[in-house]
């Protein structure tokens, strides 16, 4: 896939952004930044927001959610509209989505060589995974042991679905603003016979980097971020959380391993404990940013799966992506509209400012300190 800009060292004579020889905090004026994972650019306009924003915070009345709701199809013991009865689960619970976007067995579209009307086969399955039996709890309010049970279950599902499907996308939509249909803590798992666009781009760009440099792009990136420090949000012995240099969403973060891991299934028990720690701390500071149950879409990316016995996946580094929409308060979100839809992504708050803001937040959840 072609990028909209030509690389700075290109000799093709095309218009391209000048190489920037300044350290990031000095980037006070508008500039474009390259996302090497997607191979595209983002416009950063820091002059529109020169200092970290610290103004008005609208009060959000959080809905009182009962621990158990007999009408909620994700709760234990409830009969779903499909007629199936949920077990009396005590930790995680996974079921096949009753309204799946992907089915296991459907006829292929007719073959055609028409370049303008191409279609291809798409097979798969979709699952729903509840994190906890209680409807009113969220990840930051769960214990690290309970979050580890979630990680263990993600790995089980990845292992199972990955035997058959090339891509298993685990993702969580949190909050109505992200289109989440149910407050019960849950995520979705979609497994497909095809590589979706986003991982396809990441696969190609990481492979290209590995061939050119002989090292995995994201392992080099972690080392550089640990040196630079300006975008670091959280750290522990096994994981690093940064607002990526190329972040698009205001408080977007990336969870990266300190050891080269290509897939989630390779994590040791200690690394899983450590990831549970990171997830709890990250989701807590997110909630503390605007004193609300912070909405986001998040998901995990790692080497493709399926029967790929011969394939070399050393270019892949397992990582997590958090994409939260909120910009100024619990109710003011960043809209990806006009320029973003028609030209390219743009942000005002720099990645460095966002990281500083996140880093300054307490790691004890506001609901536990009564600070709201």
Q: Point out the residues that are catalytic.
A: 186
Decide: 170 and 187 in contact? Cβ < 8 Å.
yes
CB of 124 to ligand H2U, least distance (A): 13
Q: Which is nearer to ligand H2U, 218 or 321 (CB)?
A: 321
Torsions phi, psi for 112 (to 5 deg): -150, 150
Q: Which of 28, 26, 35 is nearest to 3 (CA)?
A: 35
Asked whether position 98 contacts ligand H2U by CB under 6 A, the answer is yes
# residues contacting ligand H2U (CB under 6 A): 12
Binding mask 183-202 for ligand H2U (x = CB under 6 A): -----x--------------
Q: Is 97 in the site for ligand H2U (CB under 6 A)?
A: yes
- The answer to the question of residue 182 lying near ligand H2U (CB under 6 A) is yes
Per CB under 6 A, 128 contacts ligand H2U:
yes
User: CA-to-CA distance for 295 and 282, rounded, in angstroms?
Assistant: 13
180 binds ligand H2U per the rule CB under 6 A: yes
Q: Which residues contact 95 (CB under 8 A, 6 or more apart)?
A: 84, 86, 127, 128
Q: Give the whole-angstrom CA distance, residue 41 versus residue 8.
A: 12
* Sequential DSSP letters for 68-104: --TT-TTSTTPBPTTSPBPP--SS-EEEE-SS-S--S
Residue closer to ligand H2U by CB (options 182, 262) is: 182
Q: Distances from the Cα of 215 to the Cαs of 25, 229, 306, 315, 316, in angstroms?
A: 27, 21, 24, 7, 10
Q: Which stretch, 161-169, 173-181, 259-267, 352-360, contacts ligand H2U (CB under 6 A)?
A: 173-181
Q: Which of 80, 164, 228, 328 binds ligand H2U (CB under 6 A)?
A: 80
**Closest residue by beta carbon to ligand H2U:** 73
Footprint of ligand H2U (CB under 6 A): 73, 80-81, 97-99, 128, 173, 180-182, 188
């Amino acid at each position: 896939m072609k990028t909209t800009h030509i690389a700075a060292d290109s000799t093709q004579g095309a218009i391209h952004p000048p190489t920037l020889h300044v350290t990031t905090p000095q980037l006070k004026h508008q500039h474009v930044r390259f996302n090497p994972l997607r191979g595209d650019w983002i416009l950063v306009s820091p002059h529109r927001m020169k200092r970290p924003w610290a103004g008005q915070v609208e009060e959000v009345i959080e809905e009182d959610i009962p621990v158990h709701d007999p009408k909620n199809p994700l709760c234990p013991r409830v009969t779903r509209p499909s007629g199936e009865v949920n077990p009396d689960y005590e930790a995680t619970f996974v079921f096949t989505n009753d309204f799946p976007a992907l089915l296991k067995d459907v006829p292929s579209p007719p073959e055609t060589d028409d370049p303008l009307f191409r279609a291809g086969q798409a097979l798969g399955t979709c699952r729903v995974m509840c994190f906890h039996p209680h409807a009113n709890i969220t990840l930051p309010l769960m214990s690290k042991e309970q979050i580890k049970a979630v990680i263990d279950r993600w790995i089980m599902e990845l292992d199972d679905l990955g035997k058959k499907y090339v891509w298993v996308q685990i993702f969580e939509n949190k909050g109505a603003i992200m289109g989440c249909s149910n407050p019960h803590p849950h995520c979705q798992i979609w497994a497909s016979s095809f590589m979706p666009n986003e991982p396809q781009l990441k696969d190609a760009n990481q492979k290209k980097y590995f061939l050119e440099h002989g090292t995995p792009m994201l392992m080099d990136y972690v080392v550089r971020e640990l040196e630079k420090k300006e975008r670091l949000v959280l750290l522990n012995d096994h994981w690093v959380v940064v607002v990526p240099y190329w972040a698009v969403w205001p408080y977007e973060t990336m969870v990266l391993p300190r050891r080269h891991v290509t897939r989630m299934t390779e994590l040791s028990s200690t690394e899983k404990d450590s990831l549970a720690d990171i997830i709890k701390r990250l989701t807590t500071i997110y909630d503390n940013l605007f004193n609300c149950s912070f909405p986001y879409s998040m998901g995990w990316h790692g080497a493709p799966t399926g029967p790929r016995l011969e394939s070399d996946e050393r270019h892949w580094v397992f990582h997590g992506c958090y994409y939260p929409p909120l910009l100024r308060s619990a109710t003011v979100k960043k809209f990806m509209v006009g320029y973003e839809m028609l030209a390219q992504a743009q942000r005002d708050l720099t990645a460095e400012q966002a990281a500083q803001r996140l880093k300054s937040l307490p790691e004890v959840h506001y609901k536990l300190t009564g600070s709201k």
